[in-house]
A = this chain, B = another copy of it.
Amino acid sequence: MTRRAIIAGAGALPGLVLEAGPALIVRLKGIAVEVDGPGIDARYERFGQLFDDLHSAGITELCLAGAVTRASLDPALMDAVTLALVPRIEAAQRKGDDALLREVIAILEDQGFTIRAAHELRPDLVAPDGAIVGTAAPDGDAARARAVLAALGPLDVGQAAVAAKGQMLGIETLQGTDAMLRFVAQTQPGSGGILVKRAKPTQDLRVDMPAIGPDTVRLAAEAGLSGIEVQAGHVLLLDPDAVRAACVSHGISLWAVA
């Protein structure tokens, strides 16, 4: 029998995945989990405990959903299983976030769990191709931002960028899309530019798919942008109705291209 747990990150996604079917919620210490429901409290230092709890509950499949951030681990709190994993985790970490996440998945699979992608369980959240709200802008600024993301992707940098009138106004770094949009709002308000958000080629979409939500749309509007382009099939709308409503109310066009 299949029994599912959601390793919950921040944001709306864990709740949306829970709507796809019953699941235990794994709440990692330090992450502000928004979804209610029966679950397991865990911490990064106690992987051994977490594996035991998951196996005892009969869990066979895991979905990692929502935003997680790197945490500094306290060696004094680590159980034996975690201590044994530290070299693998540290080696992966040196290669970047994507490598780290890939290693965590490998560790979970070694424990016999099947990894299910959030977008497999909720395919209705994935951005479809074409116009979603309003009409796609002429290709100039979107193409420029796309070219910048394509150049950076192999370096595991850049999920999003903003261009206006042929100029780059923002390129996402560690701080994320929202921080970049706030920077554009502060420094180049009213540009009428375009936000482009796409997956990096290095990104493992099973556990780390780019997403936009109504807050992204609101921040884009506050930055004076006129449109948002996402990568069709590779970006989640959290959730589609709320994102569409935010676009309409803020006068922002939204479309997807391959």
Which residues of A come within 8 Å of B, CB atoms? 94, 96-97, 144, 147-148, 151-152, 154-155, 157-158, 166-171, 173-175, 179, 183, 187-188
In the complex the two chains form, is A155's CB within 8 Å of B147's CB? Answer: yes
**Cα–Cα distance between A171 and B168 once the two chains are bound (Å):** 10
A73 to chain B, nearest CB (A): 14
Contact yes or no, A154 B157, CB < 8 A: no
- Most B CB contacts (10 A, CB to CB) among A94, A152, A179 go to A152
Instruction: For the complex, give the distance between the alpha carbons of A96 and B166 in Å.
Output: 7
**A158 neighbours in B (Cβ, 8 Å):** 171
Shortest beta-carbon distance from A8 to chain B in Å: 24
Query: Which residue from chain B places its CB closest to the CB of A157 in the assembled complex?
Result: B168
Q: Within the assembled complex, what's the spacing in Å between the Cα atoms of A144 and B179? A: 21
Complex Cα distance A173/B167, Å?
8
A148–B169 CA distance with the chains assembled, in angstroms: 16
Which residues does chain B contribute within 8 Å of A154, judged by CB atoms? 151
Sample (16) of A-B pairs whose CB atoms are under 8 Å apart: A97-B167, A144-B155, A147-B155, A151-B151, A151-B152, A167-B173, A168-B174, A169-B173, A169-B174, A169-B175, A171-B171, A174-B188, A175-B183, A175-B187, A179-B187, A183-B183
Set B148, B157, B166: member contacting A94, Cβ < 8 A: B166
CA distance in complex: A21, B154 (Å): 48
Q: Return chain B residues, CB-CB under 8 Å to A173.
A: 167-171
Give the Cβ gap from A171 to chain B, nearest Cβ, in Å: 4
Residues of B near A147 (CB, < 8 A) are 155
| A96 / chain B contacts, CB cutoff of 8 Å | 166
Give the residues in chain B near A168, CB-CB below 8 Å: 157, 173-174
Measured between beta carbons, the chain B residues less than 8 angstroms from A155 are 144, 147-148, 151
Complex alpha-carbon distance, A66 and B152, angstroms: 30
Residues of B within 8 Å of A183, CB to CB, are 175, 179, 183
Contact B169 A188 (CB under 8 A): no
Which residue of chain B is the closest to A144 with respect to CB atoms? Answer: B155
Beyond A96-B166, A148-B152, A167-B174, 17 additional contacts (C-beta under 8 Å) are A94-B166, A144-B155, A148-B155, A151-B151, A151-B154, A151-B155, A152-B152, A157-B171, A158-B171, A167-B173, A169-B173, A169-B174, A169-B175, A171-B171, A175-B187, A175-B188, A183-B183
Distance between A46 CB and nearest chain B CB, rounded to angstroms? 24
CB distance from A67 to the nearest CB of B (A): 15
